Structures are given as structure tokens and as C-alpha cells.
């Protein structure tokens, strides 16, 4: 292709994965920021460029950017582009902790429905943490 | 001017079928998916934008140009690809390209070359022996390389395999990358439209049924499951915004428009344990098409 390509990689977006496509883009970008691959001040591709890269509609990426902007993870400068915010890393981590809490809550509810007592749930959690592969 | 195409009050009557009155708004810079059951009037509407067939009433403006009085200018700035276009008489792909480009001052040779590569076409290919998919890509290439501001495609992906469809949409996304160019595409490939189109319009029986941002249109509807007390039936008629899809004794499935009062109506009319699930564009399409056929309640 003659089009210049930024080496830009976020996890694949798929209709078969959970959540809407725009939500998946939000999650993937948060992961890049929280794991430090995208540092504060780093420029993001234009949403039209990212749409082309991910093969999704422009509006899907636009909506993902808007949400990340609302959460303070990225910011836009008119005419310059979109960048990772200074507090982007912290905000992404906060969002991830909140998501982890929700998942744990769901896990504990399942365990409770299976008749496990709190002590047994702790054991289970400890067991999972030991399986390093899972992390 | 933020709209690339504006159709207002368009009417075209044939014996046994009437298109319209139809309003359609295609924002500039968007990929707009025009969908609808077979015979809904999509091709009639598209043909008329491009001056094929005359409308009985209404107005069509493309880039602010009237489709009748500014026809020449409009055709210079907009391109149209129909599944019926054939370039066989030109022999080879290279000859076809050299012939067509002569008509268009804006023709972009470098872009044409890039498209040839992306679509795996070569100058020496004979048009007559190209596969169906390759022929479709050739028509698309001839339209894209003109760098039209508005590109109108009538079912460009019908009969294409998944790889070819992705190549086509990849090029369409590139074509709108500068935010100035607009693509209007009619298609039955609803999962493609849901993924790639920014805006969507659905036509049914010659009328526009819904139009808007694809994500908002899809998010507006839910599949609802609910139960009624044993032996009880729903009070009829159902309100606007609720289409019963099927029911079995006391268990019901329906399509629910969240912008209507349908949920509230269900709650106050004996529906219990209502659960709502998101829909795909395809599920929405099928449910709305069903309503017309009267297969619903």
C-alpha cells in the first residue's frame, strides 16, 4: 500500500468478543495506557486513521475517543490531535480496579450460589493467585 | 454544508409500487448504509440521485447541487457503481483504465496503482475472464480513482467472498479518511453495514423507516422476553414501538423501541419478568421486516 502506516497495535476488535466494538476499543486503549505502553503525552492516531486500521466505522472510534476523553484518559487539542493525558495512567488503573471489583463480586456471587463459605472463597482466591499463568 | 446528500419529499410512482415520499440525509464524511428488504425501493432511490429515471415530486441535492439543473457538475463530483456496469468491450484491464481516466481531470494515477495492488488486479488481465468479484473490484476502482467527493454504490458486495468484502470496506474507509468524501452504499450484508457504516437508513415499502447513527439506531431497540400470568393474553392492540415476534403459552418475545412508551406499557399491562437483550442490526432488520409482513401479533 502507498498509504503510510503507523506501527500501531491494539488488541483485535471482534464482533465475537464480549461487548460492543466501541467498548472493546475503550478497553484495549485503557490497557495500553495502564500497562505503560502508551505514555502520557503520546499521540493517538486520528479516529479516521484508527478506524481504517481496525476496520470499523469512524463513528465507532469517535465514540470510543469521546468516552476516554470523558474519563480523563486522553485529551484533544484542536488542530493538533489526540494525546494520552498526564493522569491517563492513574485513571486507567482506577477504571481497571473498578472493573476487577465487579468481576470479583460476580465470582463471589457464583461461589456463594455454589454454597461456598467466605473462608473457602479466600482459599479459592489464594489458589488462583498461585496459578501464575492465569495472571 | 454538512450534508453530502439531501433527499426531500422524493416520490416516484410505478404501477403497483410507490417510492416515497422519501427524506434521506447523508452527512458529509460518512459511510452511509442504505438497507431494506428486496423491492423496498433502494435501487429506485439511488438511480434517481444519479439522474436515471425522473421523479414525480421532491428534491435531491448532492453537495448542494440540484440533481436535475446541475446534473453535469454533479456527475463530475459524484460517482456511481451499479452491479450492472460492464467493461468487457475494452478487452484488458489496462485498456479499460486508460479509456475511463480520459474523462476525469481529477483522476489519480498513484491511487489507481495502489487500488490495483489492493484488489489484485493487473493491466494485462482480460476483463471477460475476470472472476465476478474481480469485476466488481474493477468497477469500484474506476469510480474510486476519480477521487469523487460522493461515491454511490448499489450492492457492491453482493456475491463477494469475505476476503474481498473486507478489501472493499478497507478501501472505502481509506476513501473517507480525509473527512470530506462521502460514501452511500446499499447492501444486504447487514453485519458489514453495522461494522463499517457510520449512518444507516432503512427503507421499507418505499418509505424511510429509520435513519441515524448506526450505533444509536441499534442501541435504541431491545429484544424483550416477558411472561404473562397463566391463561392471560396481552391486551391488544400493542402500542407503537412494540412488535411481538413470537409467543408460546405465557412466554413472549418482542422487539421493543426504547424511545417509545412500550416498556412502560408492558409493565402496566401484566407483563412480568421482563428481560431486555441488545440486538444486532440484522436482528432489528428481520423484526422490522416481519412487522410489515404481518407475521407479528
ipTM of this predicted complex?
A: 0.81
Mean predicted confidence (pLDDT) in B168-189: 92
d(CA B283, CA A49): 30
Residues B177, B171: Cα–Cα separation, whole Å? 10
Q: Calculate how close chain A gets to B93, using CA atoms only, in Å.
A: 20
Q: Which of A85, A114, A104, A14 is nearest to A54 (CA)?
A: A14
pTM, 2 dp = 0.86
Contact B221, B275 (CB under 8 A): no
What would the mean pLDDT of A3-13 be, rounded to a whole number?
A: 62
Q: Structural domain boundaries of chain A?
A: 21-88, 89-134
How far apart are alpha carbons B132 and B129 in whole angstroms? 9
Touching A: B residues 191-220, CB under 8 Å? 191, 195-199, 213-215
| pLDDT (average), residues B66-90 | 84
**Distance (Å, rounded) from C-alpha B80 to C-alpha B49?**
10
pLDDT of residue A59: 92
For B92, the 3-state DSSP assignment is: strand
User: What's the CATH number of domain B220-293, 3.30.70, 3.30.1490, 3.90.550, 3.30.200?
Assistant: 3.30.70
Task: Decide if A55 and B118 are in contact by the 8 Å CB cutoff.
Answer: no
Domain coordinates of chain B in residue numbers?
A: 3-205, 220-293
Does the pLDDT of residue B229 top 90, yes or no? Answer: no
Q: How remote is the C-alpha of B6 from its chain's centroid?
A: 15
* Answer CATH for A21-88 from 3.40.50.720, 1.10.10.10, 2.60.40.10, 1.10.630.10: 1.10.10.10
Per-residue pLDDT for A113 more than 60? Answer: yes
A111 and A121 in contact (C-beta within 8 Å)? yes
Cis peptide upstream of residue A122 (ω within 30 degrees of 0): no
Q: Do the Cβ atoms of B215 and A20 come within 8 Å? A: yes
Is residue A55 a contact partner of residue A37, using CB atoms and an 8 Å limit?
Answer: no
CATH number of B3-205: 3.40.50.300
pLDDT at A3 over 60: no
pLDDT value of position B105: 87
Pairing, β B182-186 against β B150-154 = parallel
Nearest Cα of chain B lies from the Cα of A26 at a distance, in angstroms, of 15
Amino acid at each position: 500500500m502507498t498509504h503510510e502506516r503507523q506501527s500501531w497495535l491494539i488488541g483485535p476488535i471482534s464482533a465475537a468478543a464480549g461487548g460492543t466494538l466501541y467498548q472493546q476499543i475503550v478497553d484495549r486503549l485503557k490497557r495500553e495506557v495502564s500497562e505503560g505502553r502508551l505514555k502520557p503525552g503520546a499521540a493517538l492516531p486520528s479516529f479516521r486513521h484508527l478506524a481504517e486500521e481496525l476496520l470499523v466505522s469512524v463513528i465507532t472510534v469517535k465514540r470510543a475517543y469521546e468516552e476516554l476523553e470523558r474519563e480523563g484518559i486522553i485529551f484533544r487539542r484542536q488542530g493538533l490531535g489526540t494525546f494520552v493525558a498526564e493522569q491517563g495512567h492513574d485513571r486507567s488503573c482506577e477504571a481497571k480496579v473498578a472493573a476487577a471489583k465487579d468481576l470479583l463480586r460476580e465470582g463471589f456471587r457464583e461461589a456463594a450460589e455454589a454454597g461456598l463459605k467466605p473462608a473457602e472463597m479466600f482459599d479459592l482466591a489464594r489458589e488462583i493467585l498461585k496459578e501464575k499463568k492465569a495472571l | 454544508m454538512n450534508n453530502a446528500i439531501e433527499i426531500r419529499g422524493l416520490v416516484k410512482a410505478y404501477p403497483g409500487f410507490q417510492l416515497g415520499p422519501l427524506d434521506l440525509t447523508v452527512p458529509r464524511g460518512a459511510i452511509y448504509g442504505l438497507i431494506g428488504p428486496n423491492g423496498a425501493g433502494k435501487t429506485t432511490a439511488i438511480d434517481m440521485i444519479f439522474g436515471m429515471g425522473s421523479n414525480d415530486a421532491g428534491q435531491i441535492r448532492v453537495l448542494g447541487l440540484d440533481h436535475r439543473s446541475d446534473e453535469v457538475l454533479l456527475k463530475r463530483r459524484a460517482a456511481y457503481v451499479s452491479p450492472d456496469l460492464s467493461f468487457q468491450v475494452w478487452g484488458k484491464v489496462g485498456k479499460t483504465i486508460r479509456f475511463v481516466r480520459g474523462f476525469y481531470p481529477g483522476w489519480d494515477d498513484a491511487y489507481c496503482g495502489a487500488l490495483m495492488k489492493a484488489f489484485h488486479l493487473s493491466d494485462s488481465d482480460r476483463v471477460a475472464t475476470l472472476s465476478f468479484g474481480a469485476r466488481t473490484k474493477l468497477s469500484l476502482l474506476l469510480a474510486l480513482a476519480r477521487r469523487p467527493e460522493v461515491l454511490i454504490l448499489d450492492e457492491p458486495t453482493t456475491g463477494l467472498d469475505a476476503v474481498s468484502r473486507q478489501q472493499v470496506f478497507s478501501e472505502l474507509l481509506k476513501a473517507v479518511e480525509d473527512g470530506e468524501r462521502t460514501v452511500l452504499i446499499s447492501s444486504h450484508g447487514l453485519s458489514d453495514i453495522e461494522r463499517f457504516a457510520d449512518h444507516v437508513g432503512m427503507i421499507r415499502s418505499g418509505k424511510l423507516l429509520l435513519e441515524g447513527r448506526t450505533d444509536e439506531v441499534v442501541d435504541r431497540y431491545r429484544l424483550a422476553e416477558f411472561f404473562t400470568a397463566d391463561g392471560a393474553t396481552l391486551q391488544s392492540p400493542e402500542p407503537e414501538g412494540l412488535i411481538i415476534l413470537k409467543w408460546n403459552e405465557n412466554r413472549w418475545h418482542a422487539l421493543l423501541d426504547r424511545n417509545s412508551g412500550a416498556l412502560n406499557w408492558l409493565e402496566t399491562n401484566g407483563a412480568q419478568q421482563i428481560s431486555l437483550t441488545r440486538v444486532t442490526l440484522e436482528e432489528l432488520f428481520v423484526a422490522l421486516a416481519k412487522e410489515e409482513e404481518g407475521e407479528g401479533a
